[in-house]
A and B are shown apart, each in its own frame.
Chain A
Amino acid sequence: MQPEKFYYDNKIVRNFGIATIVWGIIGMTVGLLVAMQLFKPGMNMGNQYTTFGRIRPLHTNAVIFAFVGNAIFMGVYYSLQRLLKARMFSDALSKIHFWGWQLIIVAAAITLPLGFTTSHEYAELEWPIDIAITLIWVVFGINMFGTIIKRRERHLYVAIWFYIATFVTIAVLHIVNSFELPISALKSYYLYAGVQDALVQWWYGHNAVAFFLTTPYLGMMYYFLPKMANRPVYSYKLSILHFWALIFIYIWAGPHHLLYTTLPGWAQSLGIVFSIMLIAPSWGGMINGLLTLRGAWDKVRDDVVLKFMVVGLTAYGMATFEGPMLSLKQVNAIGHFTDWIVAHVHVGALGWNGFLTFAILYWLIPRIYRTQLYSKKLASFHFWIGTLGILFYAVPMYWAGFTQGLMLKEFTPEGILKYPTFLETTLRIIPMHVMRAVGGGLYLLGVIAMAYNLAKTMAIGKLVAQEPAEAMPLEKVFVAHNEGDNFWHRVLERRPIQLMVLSLLVILIGSIIELIPTMTISSNVPTIASVKPYTPLELQGRDIYIREGCVNCHSQTVRPFRSETERYGEYSKAGEFVYDHPFLWGSKRTGPDLQREGGKYSNAWHYNHMLDPRLMSPGSIMPNYDWLINQKLDTTTTAAKINAMRTLGVPYANGYEKLANTELDKQAQGIADNLAKDKIKVQCDREIVALIAYLQRLGTDIKVTKTANNN
């Protein structure tokens, strides 16, 4: 048999590489902008399109799906071809994949600032874009499996197991978390409500971290690290063990994002124990990487690429130990909703994803351009300033998290809250937010230096778009040559479809056991008779709340703690959320919880507070929402919204959609009249009126308060 000649496609790798750099800089710049808004709200530049609630999702989407996403495709397209000794299955599919993905990112960058959002974290994009993502993901899958099928290497290397698991799991997660009922071209409601919606979202959210930020990067680590260090992978056994353990256990851990909420206790406990069991499988990747460097540590001293890898792996190890600790409910009680979580995710994002990406870029670009890196000094500068950036980012944020978490829980001996106004605790940590922006700025500076360095490298070299290679074709029938070839896992490694099906089954176990009972067994969500659907005006107000991204800073779930029931009121009940499509519990309290906001303040208070929060709360870092006062509420959608909600099971009477706008006007007029008593003149058809109606409704269905009148 003759060796076959073929060419690796380096152009697609280069394209994804450039996209990684460009979107990385954009995403991190937006990150810096939102960071600055947290100590200087005026940094929103006075307009709605660049205000925190709308561009914080832009930052997270840009760094996760644009920066990391393109980096994954760059790494996969480079390593997959070489590990399988085959060109990518179809150049046309590669191109569609590349341009399709960039178009999706552009669509996100346009729709998010305009306020089109589903409000599910890391899944904010509206339904047409969700469909586009599904299609492009399928294109990627066909291209990958096509290449696997025409491979010239019998067995699949560990990197490819991780790529396969990534592909199937992301597909499942994305589809299940995108079950939406469209009401217009860019607006939809989730099929699930309240507790169920929350569980689906965090099953998705947690595993987006697992299968988008972790498994593909582990796969890339397994290819690029041995290449960079020129060392054999430390342990094949460990690879097998930690791969299967990781994907099986990770999928269960989602509920740890919902501790002390109204999620059933059994689901919370499953989330906790599987998070703890996740420590070792996560560390398996780290130690297999670090021990691969055994005997090559002298290279680490000289080689900036390996330095990036070592810090990246260490950051991964720290974040995957910290995560399980934060899942323990006693730790979670303090850390959740604070900056601690922000510090935690950024150690992972900046350290693990960022540094691995930089290492791969520095290693790969000179190779496909057949040249040397333009400046090693500049790369070294990038490493140091990047590391410093992470420290300057993480240390103040941990500090801020502890400080605020403890302050919010502190009582005086008289038995009242030591810091009864939330704002006091916010003001205390503002210096930490300044420091964090400095850290982020340093990190961004490093990335810009890298972009310059790599652009120069590309300029001095010439892209080898078609890299020649040759390999023997596979024989029709496999004959085992070695004893090791009969090992059960080795058998699986030469059967890609079985491997894919098996990994799909492994990730479905945890998903089904957690999701199905919560969806179907009614005792998990006890209903409350006094909880009624939103009025049309409140429903419109709720959609404004979603559009403005209020959920990015305000939670809507009171946990059963003394410090929270004293501060906010009665703790949340599962039955209160049954008409909430989507749920709006939030994951971070930059401002106070709003679950019991209804009736706490007067309409006039809310009006003034939205006009300029500092009028009512001096020193507040909430931006002005003055545009709500000028913008007219769009009531043409009311009927469609009522109909959609009815389809989803909200008990609006048949035909109610025809009366809805009349009712809406009546309620709006009432609020405008009430505001007029306080000498506030506002037309009743403005958005602010709807938002006030919604805020005043929040949590009142079961609210029992003592007042001077009924006391």
Chain B
Amino acid sequence: MRRVAIIGAGMTDFRSMLPMTSPEMIRLAVKRCLDDCGGLSIRYVDGVLATSAPDAFDGYHDKGAIAVEAAGAIGKPITRVFVGGGSGVAAGVAGWYHVASGAFDTLLVVAWEKMSHPYPHAQKLFQTIFDPVLEKPLGPNLIWIFALEMMRYMEAHRLKKELIAEVAVKNKRNALDHPYSQLGGRITVDDVLNSEIMVWPVNRLDISPTSDGAVALLLASEEAAKRLTDNPVWLDGVATCLDSQFWTCRDLTYPYYVYLAAQRAFRMAGVTAPLKQIDVWEPYDPFTYKELHHLDGLVGKPGIAPKLLAEGQLERDGDCPTSPSGGLLGVGNPIAAAGLMKVAELYWQLSGRAGKRQVPDAEIGVAQAWGDLMQVGTVVVCRR
């Protein structure tokens, strides 16, 4: 098994209505990524692994096939993976086996999303996710089903909205230090509680924004990494895990699939006591409660995350800093790109380039994303 390194990262602003087409966003993210590797020429890149969430957003059928020129893949391998919201981190997983298998010495991983295209709103497209016979006739909104999960989670651990709202406060504050963020800000718990109720218990400020954006990472084999950088970050553990598609037949209290994925990734990376060993956590936070729900799964203890939150341990200077980037709630949520942004954050944190967001002495980090019908967990573990 070859060791795989992340040797560069680049991203565009995350914004609603970025005045760029998807290929233009991809190109900008790739350029910034190569600049980050000391202006490496695209000629030295062996291939591209692309990811982007539903085809419907960009308004392209088979949208992976739009990236060939923009990602510099002419005459090189280019394929696209896609596991719903879990795609961004899944791209890290897929990137890993591209390089570890010996097939690639260097690989660009690109993720993008153009969510401001759809009219009247992205939810109209999200509706196509539901079962066309059993669910779509009810006229659902994707927020409905997350509200169902949030309620089940709150009930199981007797959680108050006041506590969960702290996640939004923390992540939006963290995002103030992120140069590409969309929704950084100082807000209060009351702001969250008083924001419009969308689907109880989800208020508007519990939800991450819809965004456009692209992120690119450059991966390299150990040998290539030594040649190309002095400051690699090692991608040491990767895993995904998918639960059943029949989500109404499952208990939503605990993301068991995230737990299994995390266990596999930790084992691969030699992490035996995650709470002790891991310095930076980037759990997937499209909704406030999701950060806690996922942290429960990553740590492997149902209900532990709200306790850590109440103790203030999830702050950047706490014992278990989560989403120091600002997460999806603060930086923005261009679905697949948001997941890869979390992997990029591990790279910046562990290579000591996170600027004002820097968690001191960070050595090991974990990033996770989640998607499909509350169904898939994707996890990567990185090490300095």
Question: Is B one of A's binding partners?
Answer: no
Interface residues, chain A, CB within 8 Å of chain B?
Answer: none
Interface residues, chain B, CB within 8 Å of chain A?
Answer: none
